[in-house]
Chain A
Amino acid sequence: MNRFEYARPTTLADAVAAGAVPGAAYLAAGTNLLDLMKGGVMRPGHLVDIGQLPGLDRIEWLGDGGVRIGALVRNAELARDAAFARRFPAVAEALLSGASAQLRNAATAGGNLLQRTRCAYFYDTASACNKRDPGAGCDAAGGENRLHAILGWSARCIATNPSDFCVPLVAFDAAVEVAGKNGRRDIPLEDFHLLPGTTPERETVLEPGELITALRLPAEAAGFAANARYLKIRERTSYAFAVVSAAAALRLEDGMIAEARIALGGVALKPWRARAAESVLAGARPDQTAFRRAAEAALADAKPSGDNAFKIELARRIVARALALAASGTPTRMPALPASPFSGAATHA
């Protein structure tokens, strides 16, 4: 790990001033940043530890029925909050399907949005990576890339965003509250992460020194609570990133779909909102035919970036399955294996 200057400010103003210094990085739990620093992938000259900033560790219910999640709220704490899990069950399920219990106890809501891709070539400093070293090339193209992107990728970068949490959040129109030296602003989560294009090193719309202070979910998102799921395919039963995942939520009226929300994970460098698929379902009967049509629409623009054409059909099936699970109702109790397509003994057969 490189040497760095360490600061632990106690006011937001001091934090954003320290964070604006070139080469500075904010440190929350550090579950991704410290790992990247140990590998020499990130080498910040200044670490600004935001763990002591006041007021960022709260879950606040807003007057209009929405919720504000402080940037330092830990994943497990949010998923375990009974009022939150009741209103936003797909978000709780996504959180509990991510990482391990130890990591969920440490990792924060704000940090989740800024976790880096898990592309092995990004992590391996001996490999060429345009994200780590702009212009160096991409060893993932032509390399081991069966888990790479099928949507929104470019010739420069075929990596994916690894977040589970962000997938239902983007489906439910979450907003990101940020603070910087020029004040505060809100960013819709859907616009927060950038596709790689020709500048894969730029991953979000955050300006240098801007700090995530909270996430907000609008009240409308709770209108899907009775029919909301997150489904995630992993290469082992637990503690693995998504090969593909989907958040699916339905608002049913008189047995018909009034409104649908669909987003995919593991398919692109950002959590992927599938609005075309949602439109297919508006006013439709909630049946397999409609779910399959929605799944086709969700992947209409998908293209393999390597040995990963299988992910396109897999993603279609996961979207259709997640919609079917959502239609059958949110479970009253969190499944033993959150977001898993398997259950009970079949998992270990």
Chain B
Amino acid sequence: MDLSITLTINGAVRTIALDDPRVTLLDLLRERLELTGTKKGCDRGQCGACTVLVDGRRVNSCLALALSHDGADILTIEGVAHGDQLHPVQAAFIAHDGFQCGFCTPGQIMSAIGMIREAQLDNGSGDDPERVREAMSGNLCRCGAYIGITEAVLEAQRTMDEAGRRDAA
């Protein structure tokens, strides 16, 4: 079988020839496309460091075969800022010290972006700290920056909800 796939990655269409069907989406991004912002932590779906958005949904890229995602739209941490203008979730992580070593941060931020989108679909069900902690439980932080992460996600959500309302008005 032809092992070439076409992906839209951070807005750019890429056609990629694979020489091995075992390549995960994570290894494709990091090792073949040099998008090393997405991190490999456990490589077994337990830590969330590899979180990316696939067609708008946050998933563990380590447990996804690249071949299965032919035609998908992928958003990674490299694609969330607009030039020097940080994504609201990135800005909130800085403002609230949502990290220490930073290794889990790209996955935390991608997961938070996915979470906020899910909460918007659910009419704002991510609006309290307990719901945020539950919704972010697939992202481990071994530095234990969870308090800052939770505050950052809550603030980013408020910022994005307000921006959404301004756009709708």
Judged by a CB distance under 8 angstroms, whether A114 is at the interface is no
Size bracket, chain B contacts: 35 or more
Set of chain B residues within 8 Å of A343, measured between Cβ atoms: 130
Q: Does A310 contact B (CB under 8 A)?
A: no
- Residues in B with CB closer than 8 Å to A29 are 63-64
> At the interface, yes or no: B34 with Cβ under 8 Å from chain A?
no
Query: Contact at A336–B130, with CB atoms within 8 Å?
Result: yes
- As a 0/1 sequence over residues 46 to 64 of chain B, the CB contacts with chain A under 8 angstroms (1 = contact) are 0010010000011110011
Residues of A near B134 (CB, < 8 A) are 237-238, 336-338
Chain A residues with CB under 8 Å of B58's CB are: 101-102, 105
Task: Provide the bound-state CA to CA distance between A80 and B126, in Å.
Answer: 13
A103 within 8 A of B: yes
B63 with A49: CB separation less than 8 A: no
Distance between Cα atoms of A103 and B42 in the complex (Å): 14
Asked if A103 and B130 make an inter-chain contact with CB atoms under 8 angstroms apart, the answer reads: no
B44 at the interface (CB under 8 A from A): yes
Q: Which residue from A38, A80, A237 sits with its C-beta under 8 Å from B137?
A: A237
Complexed CA–CA distance, A38 and B57 (Å): 24
User: Which residues of chain A have C-beta atoms less than 8 A from B3's C-beta?
Assistant: 6
Whether B114 pairs with A34 at a CB distance below 8 angstroms is no
- Complex interface: chain A residues within 8 A of B114 (CB): 101-102, 105
Q: Is A208 interfacial (CB 8 A cutoff)?
A: no
Residue A8 is within 8 A (CB to CB) of chain B in the complex: yes
Residues of B with Cβ closer than 8 Å to A?
1, 3, 20-22, 24, 43-45, 48, 51, 57-60, 63-65, 67-68, 70, 111, 114-115, 118, 121-122, 125, 128, 130-131, 133-139
Q: List 6 A-B contacts (CB under 8 A).
A: A4-B22, A35-B44, A102-B59, A106-B59, A336-B134, A337-B134
Given contacts A34-B65, A47-B21, 9 further A-B contacts (CB under 8 A): A5-B1, A34-B24, A35-B63, A76-B57, A80-B121, A101-B138, A102-B114, A336-B128, A347-B130
